[in-house]
């Protein structure tokens, strides 16, 4: 849940609030539905089969198809890594550290985490800091109060459509499908209903967090081009005062690094399962994907625009694993009594179609 509200998602919510006040809240609330439906399907696959998406593909289709599916998995991972390293670069930039130093340093630290498998220890530390960061937004909203504005706004202007699509990409992360299927399959006692309940709670709470960020950022009422990180950090000035940029920067770094942990697990699991290699080779897959991804935020000057653009790209990257998950969930010989049918099946494909439709609309508006 917390990893799904990563650095790029925080930036998208902040930018949405600063640009349109409460106007985009209705979209975030509606996104709870496709977020739950898409993630529920991934979790149900893991619970019903005891396997991750990659292994299910390899065992129920040809090895050639499984190998072909590693391409969208790898693409998903690379774009996800770029987004998180971009978040780290932005956060550390607010602390006065150049991306030339912060991004390679984060890469080395994460490399050690992956190599030594210290996921649990790192996650507990980052979750604690992230909860303080989220509590700061809640406190800011309490101290500042509600500003005037309607939560219902729609426009055909390119900027609005672009941010709306970025919010979609921020909510439904492609790598989370691989992670949830494999993580659910790893549990000693797998339960479809338990996975469904966890997914529902995660979807609701993550969207509430996004809405709170939008509401606090609405007080900025920034107009014009995309805000810079320093302006967006002003939302936390109610609790941090002049130190708001520092708090915002630390929060972005922790959110991004926590998501990095999840991405590395998701990518390693998905690809090694599809290739039938076993988990022992996951480290080299992580290395091959993350090195080129690390270079992008170092070379790209406008990091906020890069982060928002990546979220728009996520909408299209989601289609590959999303379609595969939908097909697998519809196979009775794979899923047994937990197969997708009736309204559940229709809702899943409708959600994917709507996500793609709005993605196309958002991109077309920029052309």
**pLDDT digits 0-9 by tens, 178-205:** 888 888 888 877 788 888 998 999 899 9
Domain CATH for 295: 1.20.1740.10
Query: In whole angstroms, what is the distance from residue 182 CA to residue 190 CA?
Result: 11
pLDDT at 220: 78
The tokens for 118 are 């210290």
Residue 2, domain member (yes or no): no
Closest CA to 49 of 350, 335, 342, 293: 335
pLDDT at 61: 78
pLDDT tens per residue, range 106-158? 999 988 887 777 777 888 888 888 888 999 999 999 988 887 778 888 888 88
Residue 1, domain member (yes or no): no
Q: Please count the structural domains in the chain.
A: 1
Domain that holds residue 122: 7-366
Cα 124 off chain centre by: 19
Q: Give 23's contacts (C-beta < 8 A, 6+ positions apart).
A: 16, 149, 150, 151, 152, 153, 160
Least confident among 6-20, 59-73, 95-109, 317-331: 59-73
Q: Which residue has the higher pLDDT, 221 or 87?
A: 87
Least confident among 133-142, 146-155, 210-219, 354-363: 146-155
pLDDT tens per residue, range 4-25? 788 888 989 998 998 888 999 9
Residue 70, domain member (yes or no): yes
Strands of the chain, DSSP E:
none
The model's pTM? 0.88
Residue 254, domain member (yes or no): yes
Residue 268, domain member (yes or no): yes
Residue 145, domain member (yes or no): yes
Query: In whole angstroms, what is the distance from residue 307 CA to residue 242 CA?
Result: 25
Contact call for residues 77 and 310 (beta carbons, < 8 A) = no
Closest CA to 86 of 251, 244, 296, 247: 296
3-state DSSP call for residue 253?
Answer: helix
Q: Which residue has the higher pLDDT, 286 or 154?
A: 154
DSSP per residue, 43-99: HHHHHHHSS-HHHHHHHHS-HHHHHHHHHHHHHHHHHHHHHHHHHHHHHHHHTT--H
95 pLDDT more than 90 = yes
Question: How many residues are given for the chain?
Answer: 367
What 8-state DSSP symbol labels residue 281? G
Query: In whole angstroms, what is the distance from residue 107 CA to residue 91 CA?
Result: 15
The tokens for 335 are 């899923």
The average confidence (pLDDT) of the chain is 85
Contact call for residues 89 and 102 (beta carbons, < 8 A) = yes
Q: Which residue has the higher pLDDT, 307 or 267?
A: 307
């Amino acid at each position: 849940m917390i990893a799904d509200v990563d650095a790029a998602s925080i930036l998208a919510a902040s930018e949405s609030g600063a640009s349109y006040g409460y106007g985009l809240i209705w979209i975030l609330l509606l996104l709870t539905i496709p977020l739950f439906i898409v993630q529920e399907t991934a979790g149900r696959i893991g619970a019903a089969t005891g396997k991750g998406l990659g292994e299910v593909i390899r065992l129920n289709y040809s090895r050639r198809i499984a190998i072909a599916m590693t391409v969208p998995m790898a693409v998903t991972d690379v774009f996800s890594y770029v987004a998180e390293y971009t978040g780290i670069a932005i956060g550390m930039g607010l602390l006065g550290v150049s991306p030339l130093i912060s991004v390679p340093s984060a890469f080395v630290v994460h490399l050690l985490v992956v190599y030594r498998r210290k996921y649990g220890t790192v996650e507990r530390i980052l979750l604690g800091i992230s909860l303080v960061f989220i509590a700061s937004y809640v406190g800011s909203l309490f101290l500042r109060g509600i500003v005037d504005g309607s939560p219902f706004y729609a426009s055909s202007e390119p900027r609005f459509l672009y941010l709306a699509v970025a919010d979609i990409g921020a909510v439904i992360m492609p790598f989370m499908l691989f992670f949830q299927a494999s993580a659910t399959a790893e549990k000693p006692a797998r339960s479809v209903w338990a996975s469904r309940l966890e997914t529902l709670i995660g979807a609701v709470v993550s969207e509430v967090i996004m809405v709170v960020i939008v509401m606090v950022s609405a007080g900025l009422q920034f107009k014009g081009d995309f805000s810079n990180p320093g302006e967006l950090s002003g939302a936390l000035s109610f609790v941090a005062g002049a130190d708001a940029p520092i708090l915002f920067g630390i929060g972005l770094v922790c959110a991004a690094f926590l998501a990095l942990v999840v991405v590395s697990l998701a990518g390693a699991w998905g690809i090694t399962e599809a290739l039938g290699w076993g988990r022992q080779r996951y480290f080299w897959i992580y290395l091959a994907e993350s090195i080129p991804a690390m270079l992008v935020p170092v070379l790209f000057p406008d990091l906020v625009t890069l982060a928002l653009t990546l979220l728009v790209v996520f909408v299209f990257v989601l289609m590959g694993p999303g379609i595969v998950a939908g097909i697998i969930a519809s196979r009775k010989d794979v899923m047994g009594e937990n197969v997708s049918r009736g309204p559940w099946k229709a809702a899943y494909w409708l959600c994917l179609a709507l996500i793609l439709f709005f993605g196309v609309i958002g991109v077309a508006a920029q052309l």
